[in-house]
Chains A and B, each alone.
Chain A
């Protein structure tokens, strides 16, 4: 029995692999890194990747590979917390919009649209201006901004499920609204929600990287990949690996999340055959 290569869900496999790889590195970093993060002993600044320092050292002499590993930890943190926040805010609101009356639905929909218009990075800047640069400011702002998109997806898909005959019949036979929501709507919209959340996660990573790069994200000694890029920029001519390597790390993780989302979407809603 030959396996048709087109039927194997490559995105799903690749995506899961890359995400797990990042998570594994993050986990290991909690117990072991080649050097301590603030170890500048030896004063070997901006040295190239080699036996002693696998990814080289930065401008203060700190080991880049260790920073890379700890950066994975922060990336995972962002990738889990931001979607969580947006889900906690967005899903309830989306459900309310879907099940509430017409006026409630319309006004909430407009609210979602307006919130989506307010750019995440600007909201984060507002938070940072007051609170000072920190990872929590970034995560909160990004999570909050993305909740509108999650709410919208929740609402659309919930409406879809609520309109099916099956659910209508259940309501007609007296099943309470919350029960309908939990037993029918949520399980059915979960896959699509999950896809949306992977999108939120990958967007959050990129947004946090931008914020850290601008100096508005995690302050030292937290080694976010975005901040590593900021610090490497000034020496990119003499030590380009400092800029190349963290960028690749970000790309790998985000690619993994995107593939994961694509893969799941393939399962739910396979790409149609075009008319040749």
Chain B
């Protein structure tokens, strides 16, 4: 177990390093002048050269890379080319919008999809099961931001129940307003996630419920319900955990896109601004951090799987006796 942990940790670090390298070098392979964006129409060549020196982009690439990486290890993520303000501080300022959004969406999606997915599996031959499957099939086929736009139209503009966008200036100091601002975005992100999760849970459930040990339990006198709950759920735990972990990260990615629909001042809009204005420090740091988050979640899932797996294996063996 320890050996596995160490190996997995090394892998995590290597992947993180690789991600950082991709983020950095990708942006700088092709020509494009960050200084020109700032100096504008009237600038002379000396002005542009000076701007470039100030931004530090006149040094060799490896040096810039080294500066960035060593900065990260100290918590310094560099400064935006455009605003000259530290990227790290800005990221922290925006987390209270993006994190609650993805977190709530994840909770709702998980809570709704597991029971519905199992229901769809169990009742798959009749109207209920087919209905749930059909709706979820459509749910994964629509772009999430489209649902957002429709919700804005109906709930915000037409019926004025929720704000059409934005986040209160005071932030969470006014929790009611903050929650109202997040309501539609959370619904939007969780809808598509739920649809996908239902399909997945359904297939896992079908798979597990058709296993032999369920039949064995039935022959021992358990009702279908008890058999599935006692044995099935436990065996569904591992694949479910895996997919929930993946969904956790995709809720974050979903939030990044959805922020644009609702004009939320979170991490996603920060990233988008950076992409549009070719603000490399912003883009590389935000993408790197999100990827790091994904890698860490993946690591945790792997470890959790290892922890749970041996337990299940042992208990099943005992039950058969």
Are B271 and A125 in contact, CB atoms less than 8 angstroms apart?
yes
Provide the residues of chain A in CB contact with B295, threshold 8 Å. 114, 117
Considering the complex, which residues of chain B in the window 17-39 have a beta carbon less than 8 Å from any beta carbon of chain A?
A: 18-19, 22-23, 26-30, 32
Provide the residues of chain B in CB contact with A243, threshold 8 Å. 146, 149-150, 153
Are B261 and A233 in contact, CB atoms less than 8 angstroms apart?
yes
Provide the residues of chain A in CB contact with B250, threshold 8 Å. 119
Q: Evaluate whether A118 and B19 lie within 8 angstroms (CB atoms) in the complex, with A258-B141, A276-B224 already known.
A: yes
Q: Let me know if B145 is at the binding interface, CB within 8 A.
A: yes
Give how many A residues have a beta carbon under 8 Å from the other chain's beta carbons.
46
Considering the complex, which residues of chain B in the window 126-158 have a beta carbon less than 8 Å from any beta carbon of chain A?
A: 137-138, 140-146, 149-150, 152-153, 157-158
Among the stretches B50-58, B98-106, B107-115, B205-213, the one at the interface with A is B205-213
Residue of B nearest to A126 (CB): B26
Give how many B residues have a beta carbon under 8 Å from the other chain's beta carbons.
59
Are A121 and B30 in contact, CB atoms less than 8 angstroms apart?
no
Q: Let me know if A240 is at the binding interface, CB within 8 A.
A: yes
Q: Evaluate whether A258 and B137 lie within 8 angstroms (CB atoms) in the complex, with A122-B290, A126-B27, A243-B149 already known.
A: yes
Are B214 and A275 in contact, CB atoms less than 8 angstroms apart?
yes
Provide the residues of chain B in CB contact with A252, threshold 8 Å. 141
Provide the residues of chain A in CB contact with B18, threshold 8 Å. 114
Q: Let me know if A190 is at the binding interface, CB within 8 A.
A: no
Provide the residues of chain A in CB contact with B141, threshold 8 Å. 202, 250-252, 254-255, 258
Are B138 and A215 in contact, CB atoms less than 8 angstroms apart?
no
- Interface of B, secondary structure class, is helix
Provide the residues of chain B in CB contact with A229, threshold 8 Å. 143, 145-146, 149
Q: Let me know if B278 is at the binding interface, CB within 8 A.
A: yes
Q: Let me know if B180 is at the binding interface, CB within 8 A.
A: no
Q: Let me know if B97 is at the binding interface, CB within 8 A.
A: no
Q: Let me know if B163 is at the binding interface, CB within 8 A.
A: no
Considering the complex, which residues of chain A in the window 57-78 have a beta carbon less than 8 Å from any beta carbon of chain B?
A: none
Are A272 and B206 in contact, CB atoms less than 8 angstroms apart?
yes
Are A129 and B275 in contact, CB atoms less than 8 angstroms apart?
yes
Complex Cα–Cα for A276 and B218 (A): 9
Considering the complex, which residues of chain A in the window 225-268 have a beta carbon less than 8 Å from any beta carbon of chain B?
A: 226, 229, 232-233, 236-237, 240, 243-244, 247, 250-252, 254-255, 258-259
Provide the residues of chain A in CB contact with B22, threshold 8 Å. 118, 126
Complex Cα–Cα for A131 and B29 (A): 10
Q: Let me know if A216 is at the binding interface, CB within 8 A.
A: yes
Provide the residues of chain B in CB contact with A130, threshold 8 Å. 26-30, 32, 278
Provide the residues of chain A in CB contact with B94, threshold 8 Å. none
Are A275 and B210 in contact, CB atoms less than 8 angstroms apart?
yes
Minimum-distance CB pairs A-B, first 6: A247-B146, A254-B141, A272-B210, A255-B141, A114-B15, A237-B157
Known: A118-B19, A229-B143, A258-B140. 20 other contacts (CB 8 A): A114-B19, A117-B294, A118-B22, A121-B253, A122-B290, A125-B283, A125-B287, A126-B27, A129-B280, A129-B283, A210-B143, A236-B149, A237-B158, A247-B146, A250-B143, A255-B141, A258-B141, A271-B206, A274-B121, A275-B209
- Which B residues have a C-beta under 8 Å from some C-beta of A? 11, 15, 18-19, 22-23, 26-30, 32, 121-122, 137-138, 140-146, 149-150, 152-153, 157-158, 206-207, 209-210, 214-215, 218, 224, 227, 249-250, 253, 256-257, 260-261, 271-272, 274-276, 278, 280, 283, 287, 290-291, 294-295, 298
CB<8 Å pairs between A and B, sample of 10:
A125-B271, A126-B22, A126-B26, A129-B275, A214-B257, A236-B149, A247-B142, A250-B142, A251-B146, A258-B140
